[in-house]
Structure 1
Amino acid sequence: MGFFYGVNGKKLQRQYKDYLSDFKSWDQKEHAQDWLLFAENIGSHLSLDETAFCNGELYTIVTNKGAKGKKGAIVAMIKGTKAETVIKILHKIPVKRRNNVEEVTLDMAGNMGLIVKKSFPNASLVIDRFHVQKLALDALQEIRIKHRWEAIDFENNAIENARSKNLKHIPEILPNGDTLKQLLARSRYLLYKPSNKWTENQSKRAEILFNHYPDIEKAYKLCQNLSWIFNNTDDKTSALVRLAKWDKKVRQAAFKSFNTIARTMSVHYKNILNYFDNRSTNASAESFNAKIKAFRAQFRGVRNVNFFLYRLTTIFA
């Protein structure tokens, strides 16, 4: 921009920061790196999440869903994820305002739940369905990766064995042109998608994959069944019954990682079931995190954290 106007870019940025903007007189400048609070932006439905600005430093962010990611979205930004620290800052918001919060969406982290209970006592906690589904998908990918390492080891052994006999190793080529190692590597993305959204090539690859590895097919069906429950259930009672049946299938399948998910869900089942009241998700918080990252990328990183936060809050708070 400085080049466009025939002005040194760094000098223009410095002039903007020191004179053209209100950064010097910003009322939150002294504590900006530790916490920012905009109590007037609080609404009845909030999202709670964490994100990193620079050097992996995490901030806990409370956003107002009613603002739809625009001005008035930021309620609080607090350095760190320690529950006691976040609660202390949120308690600076008047009790009457905090008591008016009806619902907060969050992930399954224990500190997040404690923050909500202590800061917004009248709010119902809604665990984001996509965090639950991601756990299941991660477990599915874990099974695929385990088989891939086995396939790599098998191929390495076959190559070494052929070399010891002065022979050329010829890998087995599957009907779709993949080797077993390639099949497992190239199946990663199709396992995230429902079968009705597979391309023709993905359908062929999935058929071969499931023929060779029935456990991957079983785990894939468990993931799709969980997604179906969230998509096609309208009330808590039906959801509880269907999730109980899903839990039974998981235990019968005897996958260690899926059993861990089932246990995690049984611990948090009340907050997971709260999703079916209003079908609320943490998508607004994830979207806001993406906006922060895009904003950071636009300015090629964060050199001055305070000034970055000033610009960010000027737009979103």
Structure 2
Amino acid sequence: MSNHPSSVNTIAAFYGVNGKKLQRQYKDYLSEFSSWEQKTHADKWLLFPENIGKHLSIDETALSNGELYTIVTNKKAKGKKGAIVAMVKGTKADTIIKILSKIPVKKRNKVEEVTLDMAANMGLIVKRSFINAARVIDRFHVQKLASEAVQEIRIKHRWEAINKENEAIEYARSKGTAYIADTLNNGDSLKQLLARSRYLLFKNPSKWTHSQSKRAEILFSIYPDMKKAYDLAQNLSWIFEKTIDKTVGLTRLAYWYEKVRQSGFKSFSSIARTMSIYYQGILNYFNNRSTNASAESFNAKIKAFRAQFRGVRNIPFFLFRLSNIFA
């Protein structure tokens, strides 16, 4: 029996009983929630040591009103039954390490690899809880930083274009004339060009549409720095996509760092510094080309499950339902 509110209400209406009462009966008597062994601490933590495997992911998700939970999942389960290893309320490293320590050391020592983002707390959790595991920084988090750096430059130029257009409009008004924006070869104004270029800058040129190719050509001819920044971001993606050897990866990233230094872009220099701090975890990606995509996918499933229930009113019961499906 599903506990989706509309499903329960439909069944209740069919049998002529109160929908809320039927939902309460299901939760308290039919669902086995009342005898669930993890019920007493479910709102604080869940643990399923039997689901631990050699390759794990760690990430965070929001359940209700922005309340964050840290989730450890087994990659081998592919987001299905047996995926959840642990769910702990909050992101504080000490709290999560304490809960994970309840898993026998012998089991934790068998973990060979854990994928994570660049958050310091995540790194500490993995380091203390899974001492034999290689920490693998998710390549997509690194690439996202590069994409954001490109967008930062685009936005800077867009504000400049907006201010320039505003000045032109004000000047035209002072002269009692109508302002007519100059248009480029593709029909965009400069302000429109910068606004409409947002999505193409996330893509590889091979995935551009004809209009996007034309827009990019105009954009890069007017703003050479945008072309240079875009090429840096694409080159970083190429390194992760095409490199299968850790030593080669190290050499290519070193060459990329030098390009960043020569570019003079502050945002990219910050990315390079961040990568140098986490370089070992980033290089570990080339061992098995593991990413945190499974954790992100699982996070999306939780959000969809939450949406199905139109929010989370009773966190322990929600987690009970979640664990029945994914743990």
Give the TM-score normalised by structure 1: 0.98
| Structure 2 counterpart of 1:151, one-letter code | A
Match of 1:258 in 2: 268
SS at match of 2:184: coil
Q: 2:104 aligns with which of 94, 99, 103?
A: 94
Displacement of 1:113 in angstroms is 0.7
Which structure 2 segments of 5+ residues have no match? 1-6
Q: Distance in 1 between matches of 2:225 and 2:18?
A: 62
Q: 1:270 aligns with which of 263, 270, 280?
A: 280
The answer to whether 1:17 aligns with 2:23 is no
The answer to whether 1:309 aligns with 2:319 is yes
Displacement of 1:12 in angstroms is 2.3
Distance verdict in 2 for CA 1:58–1:175, change over 3 Å = same
Displacement of 1:158 in angstroms is 1.0
8 Å contact from structure 1 (residues 2, 8) kept in 2: no
Match of 1:202 in 2: 212
Which structure 1 segments of 5+ residues have no match? none
Distance verdict in 2 for CA 1:268–1:2, change over 3 Å = closer
Equivalent residues in 2 for 1:58-207, closer than 5 Å = 58-207=68-217
8 Å contact from structure 2 (residues 9, 20) kept in 1: no
The answer to whether 1:237 aligns with 2:247 is yes
SS at match of 1:105: strand
Q: 2:10 aligns with which of 4, 11, 14?
A: 4
SS at match of 1:314: helix
8 Å contact from structure 1 (residues 139, 258) kept in 2: yes
Match of 1:223 in 2: 233
| Structure 2 counterpart of 1:203, one-letter code | S
Displacement of 1:167 in angstroms is 1.0
Match of 2:289 in 1: 279
Displacement of 1:10 in angstroms is 2.2
Q: Distance in 1 between matches of 2:76 and 2:90?
A: 25
Q: Distance in 2 between matches of 1:3 and 1:253?
A: 62
Match of 1:54 in 2: 64
Q: Distance in 2 between matches of 1:13 and 1:151?
A: 57
Q: Distance in 1 between matches of 2:86 and 2:40?
A: 15
Displacement of 1:88 in angstroms is 0.5
| Structure 2 counterpart of 1:230, one-letter code | F
RMSD: 0.9
Q: Deviations over 1:34-53 (max 9, x none)?
A: 11111111001000111111
Q: Deviations over 1:211-250 (max 9, x none)?
A: 1111111000001100111111111110000000000000
Displacement of 1:164 in angstroms is 1.3
| Structure 2 counterpart of 1:190, one-letter code | L
Equivalent residues in 2 for 1:36-51, closer than 5 Å = 36-51=46-61
Q: Distance in 1 between matches of 2:242 and 2:8?
A: 54
| Structure 1 counterpart of 2:10, one-letter code | F
Q: Deviations over 1:139-189 (max 9, x none)?
A: 111111111111111111111111111111111111111111111111111
Match of 1:214 in 2: 224
> Percent of counterpart pairs with the same letter?
75
Match of 2:4 in 1: none
Q: Distance in 2 between matches of 1:218 and 1:12?
A: 62
SS at match of 2:136: strand
Displacement of 1:18 in angstroms is 1.1
SS at match of 1:4: helix
